[in-house]
Chain A
């Protein structure tokens, strides 16, 4: 058995990486069996780095987080110990091949920029930096040991960066459940290593690694109703704290599009989503998504999650279909998740693995189209030229979206009075959305919103009456010092309402992001008036705009 292993030699033949560009560089460091201890120092140092990070105050102060780190360290140590012993016995060797691929480091740079700007406006991102670093260290050690366990030479580069960053741009587990984050990272690499198929003559992974683990864990979280173990909802909503987030993502997306020719994927995803949202809006009079035609987190997803070149079609038509299907998938999943009562932030995550699976079908479909001369001629235009043309169209489309107020700026769905009015007029789904938005603000301790919810549950006009729930919301309104909530709590048989206080307006007018804590009261009222709050306009002595 050992002899057989020895016969296989130190490395399996590795096929050349696809789409290699002039930016890519390679170097190899292979070991002889007597160098094995030196080579194994690398995962050992990484593991010790993880151990060192467990001494950071955030980790050390939380027993469960410390456990997560120690469990990860122990797992890695056992793994490398067993592997080292096995390879030593067999006289086998392992090594590295250094490959710096631009699709890794450029994508990582873009993702890092998003983290940097996002964290500037939402502090928990910066606070999370240590845990992000821990995941990176864990990912390198895990990926390395996995490759060596499979008898492969480890391709050392920036590969784990986009996987970890991409995962963390969409889902983190809370500190108490952080061991699941390590499991999620592990699942991503296992999926990449083991779930493979033969495509265009070579073996390649089926799923985008981060999307695979995100999809897998999202399914379990939805099925078990345990989304509250994650920061998923906060992540999905706090991206909009960044002023001009759409413009930022658009600009960063252009870099990705230019280098990796994924304009058709992102562009068609955006067009499909925008088109469907606009159609829904025109048909029902209310926006499909609350905060924009394309929510910021989805906009991020269509630039940085679905655009992995190795798990998407290679042809232009295929990329366009792939992107359009992502848009349709997000649209459908949002509806499905909302109808199922599940958190809707999973919409952008769940369809990626399904799309990855559909790539051979798309390829086959595209091949059948290529028998048509017009389509074939389109395919003859050089990639670089075609991509620039696609980017130009995308820039025009984004400019049109921005000019019509569909990206940054006030969106009609951000205005609570819009939903109140739409609900009064009986527009489709408006009352459900109103309740949903008020529940979200109530959870942020906006007393006004809690009192409105309590009133709905007493009145029973737009929700089923529920006395206990009403009292709960009135109590919460009262605890938020909203006096109408207190008098309603005392006697819910007569419902009292009052307009939002400045404290409430600072939450209600954030429009998904802005920090209004220090905004002067007059400016706040002007902003409220602009959002359609009649009381604010009256106080300002102005007409409702």
Chain B
């Protein structure tokens, strides 16, 4: 009888501990101390952005627009880098080479999202995958640019979005055809980004050579909803290529002249990846179309976000 009581008490203690363990694990999601786990964000099971009008909840809150907000950038050469003779605010790192201020780069056609990736869009990805994201990345208003996103976070989002668009019957036929032809979703290269921002005429800002405060959110100290400042004068009508948040690219930080072929060289130093466009906290000098910034891939900051491209290479 006494033995039975001992087993009963031990059983009760074990059951209590086990219930406690289960409830703790439920709170931290799939986290733990395993080799691949990092801290996870507390993800609500319901989508707080499900009622956003003008966006497709079934397609990861991409815009309910032709090609889901992707804009085609045609194939062709453009002028990359800065000529200090024209752009007096240019930094040295924007110079093409010792003897040449700018260079011409031929960029194949690609599609780029009109707006930066939003909190709602990034949240849809985190909810769908359980990706370990910084909780601050999901804390902003749904239409603000997703920030506190590392470079691997951004790439993980691209992979997920490609999978979603490949599988969903709601994906527009034009995009489905691209995927069937081997195109994929990723971050833009530095060259793709700059061409999409300034076109092929070498302008200083996406809208022209003169500063305009109604076209970009910069030096304000706070991010704005994506696309709030439309840019009809921009060569491809993209929003926030200047300011709002810096945007990750898939180009490693290397001195000009730009050459995609050497991206897998120089792997022995610390990693730095190019980001473009400046942010809400930057002065005018940092929101020019040719501005080049760089950050470690693990960096998660309020002023760094990203946008995506659909590209063949």
Give the complex CA separation of A486 and B154 in angstroms. 12
Residue in B34, B155, B186, B269 whose CB lies within 8 Å of A483 = B269
> Is A483 a contact of B266 with CB atoms below 8 Å?
yes
**Interface hit among B14-22, B79-87, B107-115:** B14-22
The A-contacting residues of B in range 131-160, CB under 8 angstroms, are 150-152, 155-156, 159
A224 CB contacts on chain B under 8 angstroms: 18, 21
Contact size range, A: 35 or more
Residue in A476, A484, A489 whose CB lies within 8 Å of B155 = A489
Give the complex CA separation of A209 and B186 in angstroms. 59
Mark interface residues in B167-188 (1 if CB within 8 Å of A CB, else 0). 0000000000000000000100
> Is A180 a contact of B271 with CB atoms below 8 Å?
no
Give the complex CA separation of A479 and B250 in angstroms. 15
Give the most central of B34, B151, B297: most A CB within 10 Å: B297
> Is A484 a contact of B152 with CB atoms below 8 Å?
no
Residue in A439, A479, A480, A485 whose CB lies within 8 Å of B35 = A439
Decide yes or no: A480 and B298 within 8 Å by CB, A487-B252, A489-B155 being known contacts.
yes
B263 CB contacts on chain A under 8 angstroms: 487
> Is A499 a contact of B268 with CB atoms below 8 Å?
yes
Smallest CB separation, B58 vs chain A (Å):
24
Mark interface residues in A436-448 (1 if CB within 8 Å of B CB, else 0). 0001001100000
Decide yes or no: A472 and B36 within 8 Å by CB, A479-B150, A486-B297, A487-B263 being known contacts.
yes
Residue in B17, B269, B298 whose CB lies within 8 Å of A479 = B298
Mark interface residues in A223-267 (1 if CB within 8 Å of B CB, else 0). 010101100000000000000000000000000000000000000
A176 CB–B CB distance under 8 Å: yes
The B-contacting residues of A in range 359-384, CB under 8 angstroms, are none
Decide yes or no: A490 and B270 within 8 Å by CB, A220-B14, A475-B152 being known contacts.
no
Decide yes or no: A183 and B13 within 8 Å by CB, A226-B21, A486-B151 being known contacts.
yes
A interface majority secondary structure: helix
B232 CB–A CB distance under 8 Å: no
> Is A442 a contact of B35 with CB atoms below 8 Å?
yes
B32 CB–A CB distance under 8 Å: yes
B296 CB contacts on chain A under 8 angstroms: 481
> Is A487 a contact of B264 with CB atoms below 8 Å?
yes
Decide yes or no: A479 and B297 within 8 Å by CB, A439-B35, A473-B36, A486-B151 being known contacts.
yes
A490 CB contacts on chain B under 8 angstroms: 155, 186, 250
> Is A501 a contact of B36 with CB atoms below 8 Å?
no
> Is B18 a contact of A481 with CB atoms below 8 Å?
no
The B-contacting residues of A in range 434-482, CB under 8 angstroms, are 439, 442-443, 469, 471-473, 475-476, 478-482
Contact size range, B: 20 to 34
Residue in B33, B34, B35, B297 whose CB lies within 8 Å of A481 = B297
> Is A478 a contact of B151 with CB atoms below 8 Å?
yes
Give the complex CA separation of A485 and B273 in angstroms. 13
Give the complex CA separation of A194 and B7 in angstroms. 13
Mark interface residues in A173-202 (1 if CB within 8 Å of B CB, else 0). 000100010010000000000100000000
B46 CB–A CB distance under 8 Å: no
B24 CB–A CB distance under 8 Å: yes
Give the complex CA separation of A469 and B268 in angstroms. 24
Nearest-CB residue, chain B, relative to A439: B35
Smallest CB separation, A362 vs chain B (Å):
27
Give the complex CA separation of A499 and B32 in angstroms. 30
A30 CB–B CB distance under 8 Å: no
> Is A483 a contact of B271 with CB atoms below 8 Å?
yes
Give the complex CA separation of A178 and B186 in angstroms. 45
A483 CB contacts on chain B under 8 angstroms: 252, 266-271
> Is B17 a contact of A482 with CB atoms below 8 Å?
no
Nearest-CB residue, chain B, relative to A503: B270
Mark interface residues in B255-285 (1 if CB within 8 Å of A CB, else 0). 0000000011011111101000000000000
A228 CB contacts on chain B under 8 angstroms: 32-34
Nearest-CB residue, chain B, relative to A485: B271
Give the complex CA separation of A487 and B273 in angstroms. 10
Give the complex CA separation of A483 and B152 in angstroms. 12
Give the complex CA separation of A183 and B16 in angstroms. 12
Smallest CB separation, B273 vs chain A (Å):
7
Give the complex CA separation of A443 and B269 in angstroms. 21
B35 CB contacts on chain A under 8 angstroms: 439, 442-443
A469 CB contacts on chain B under 8 angstroms: 36
Give the complex CA separation of A482 and B268 in angstroms. 8
Mark interface residues in A255-289 (1 if CB within 8 Å of B CB, else 0). 00000000000000000000000000000000000
Mark interface residues in B19-48 (1 if CB within 8 Å of A CB, else 0). 001001000000011111000000000000
A482 CB contacts on chain B under 8 angstroms: 271
Smallest CB separation, B30 vs chain A (Å):
12
Nearest-CB residue, chain A, relative to B158: A490
Nearest-CB residue, chain B, relative to A234: B33
Smallest CB separation, A263 vs chain B (Å):
38
Nearest-CB residue, chain A, relative to B13: A183
A85 CB–B CB distance under 8 Å: no
> Is A479 a contact of B152 with CB atoms below 8 Å?
yes
> Is A486 a contact of B150 with CB atoms below 8 Å?
no
> Is B152 a contact of A478 with CB atoms below 8 Å?
yes
Give the complex CA separation of A237 and B264 in angstroms. 36
21 A-B pairs in the complex with CB atoms less than 8 angstroms apart: A176-B24, A224-B18, A226-B21, A443-B35, A469-B36, A471-B156, A475-B155, A479-B152, A484-B267, A485-B271, A486-B273, A486-B297, A487-B252, A487-B263, A490-B155, A490-B186, A494-B264, A498-B267, A499-B268, A501-B269, A501-B270
A228-B32, A442-B35 known, 13 other contacts, Cβ within 8 Å = A439-B35, A443-B35, A471-B159, A475-B156, A479-B297, A481-B297, A483-B270, A483-B271, A486-B252, A489-B152, A490-B155, A496-B267, A499-B268
Considering the complex of A and B, which 8 residue pairs feature the smallest CB-CB distances, nearest first? Answer: A475-B152, A483-B271, A498-B267, A228-B33, A479-B298, A481-B271, A484-B267, A483-B267
Residues of A within 8 A of B (CB): 176, 180, 183, 194, 220, 224, 226, 228-229, 439, 442-443, 469, 471-473, 475-476, 478-487, 489-490, 494, 496, 498-499, 501
